[in-house]
Amino acid sequence: MPTKSLPCVLLGTALSICLPTLADTAVEHYGQLAVKGNQIVDRQAQPVSLAGPSLFWSNTGWGADKYYNAEVVNYIQEQWNAPIIRAAIGAGKNGGMLTHPEENIAKAEAVIDAATDQGMYVILDWHAHHAEDHPKDAIAFFQHFARKYGAQPNIIYEIYNEPLADTDWASVIKPYAEEVIAAIRAIDPDNLIIVGTQTWSQDVDKAADDPITGIDNIAYTLHFYAGTHKAELRQKAQYALDKGIALMVTEWGTVDANGDGAVDRQSTQKWLDFIKRNQLSHANWALNDKIEGASMLKNGTAADGAWSDDDLTESGLYVKSIVKNWSDIDYSGDE
């Protein structure tokens, strides 16, 4: 944690008093986020770069839903100084929103409420690979959350995690996005909406060539896995930024694109340099204990957030150091 300075007030010529101050939470510090040109900015129109973890699929019965609770969110704020967390709410597949809506909504709300209490931003992600097949479900989902939380500055809507490689931007993804965005904007006029892009959210160049227009505070999803994706994908991202769209890395991994394999520190560092240079925000996949390289927690780790570094995997320890050292700002809100 950075050292907090004490503000001092001069009283007359010789006497001054220094008072302890409250650290701002992330939301107190930055306020309502917006998109300005190709950047996500704070209430002062200054670029914002936030780092945090993404939870794993919330689907009932998949084993990661137990981590959707306040104790885990509190741990991430207090021990990692994270200003943001992502809730990856399973849309389709077994145990997701289409079959278990109440359970998944309750998990999302548990994370959003805890993040709100901690003054953190929270990405509400419709975690799908075929969202265009059921847009009405996505609309009902986001309208529920826009009604309940849209007046708060900390909710970020991510409306389509990862469209597949053969799901066309112009004819499928963009029309889906415009329909869902219109439904959100009918309720919440301003909070950030992050739009997934073709090829597991890598083809940000296609979105840059044919962006959504006429709506404020739209950014686009860029995903990478350091073991698989290298300079070629960064060039694509740079092209998109240069064309003028804003990007958010709502999901990235230190390992291979299948979520497994070894931690690639050399490639990760190149990505972090790119992210830092362009002042992007990012969320690492995944805060979960599944036995695979991307998981931050060792298999069998309890869901109580009472964790030591001994509970973290190699990737978890690495990502903790990245998140904790990302900013000099103390987001604790503590005295």
* Active site positions, annotated: 162, 251
- Give the number of C-alpha atoms closer than 13 A to the C-alpha of residue 253, restricted to the C-beta side: 24
Dihedral angle sign, alpha carbons of residues 162, 294, 235, 34 = positive
Q: Which range of residues in 39-47, 133-141, 186-194, 253-261 is near Mg ion by CB under 5 A? A: 186-194
- Sole binder of Mg ion in the list 24, 109, 168, 190 (CB under 5 A): 190
| Total of residues contacting Mg ion (CB under 5 A) | 4
Residues 191-250 contacting Mg ion, CB under 5 A = 191
* Three-class secondary structure of residue 253 per DSSP: strand
89 versus 156: smaller Cβ distance to Mg ion: 156
CA dist list (Å): 69 to 75, 124, 143, 186: 10, 14, 22, 30
Contact 59, 65 (CB under 8 A): yes
Torsion of CA 244, 34, 50, 256, to 10 degrees: -50
Q: How far is the CB of 150 from Mg ion (least distance, A)?
A: 4
Q: How far is the CB of 155 from Mg ion (least distance, A)?
A: 7
User: Is position 78 an interface residue for Mg ion (rule: CB under 5 A)?
Assistant: no
168 versus 190: smaller Cβ distance to Mg ion: 190
DSSP summary character for residue 334: -
Q: Which range of residues in 11-19, 188-196, 216-224, 246-254 is near Mg ion by CB under 5 A? A: 188-196
Cα separation, 249 vs 200, in Å, equals: 12
Residues 126-185 contacting Mg ion, CB under 5 A = 150
Cα separation, 129 vs 164, in Å, equals: 6
Q: How far is the CB of 187 from Mg ion (least distance, A)?
A: 9
* Residue 186: exposure state from Cβ atoms within 10 A (0-12, 13-18, ≥19): exposed
180 versus 297: smaller Cβ distance to Mg ion: 180
Q: How far is the CB of 211 from Mg ion (least distance, A)?
A: 22
* Three-class secondary structure of residue 173 per DSSP: helix
31 versus 135: smaller Cβ distance to Mg ion: 31
Q: How far is the CB of 34 from Mg ion (least distance, A)?
A: 11
Whether omega before 286 lies within 30 degrees of 0, making that bond cis, reads yes
Q: How far is the CB of 65 from Mg ion (least distance, A)?
A: 27
Dihedral angle sign, alpha carbons of residues 194, 199, 203, 209 = negative
Cα separation, 33 vs 49, in Å, equals: 11
Give the orientation angle of helix 174-185 with respect to helix 135-149, to 10 degrees: 30
64 versus 146: smaller Cβ distance to Mg ion: 146
Q: Which range of residues in 98-106, 160-168, 190-198, 279-287 is near Mg ion by CB under 5 A? A: 190-198
9 versus 45: smaller Cβ distance to Mg ion: 45
- The residues that touch Mg ion, with contacts defined as CB under 5 A, are 150, 188, 190-191
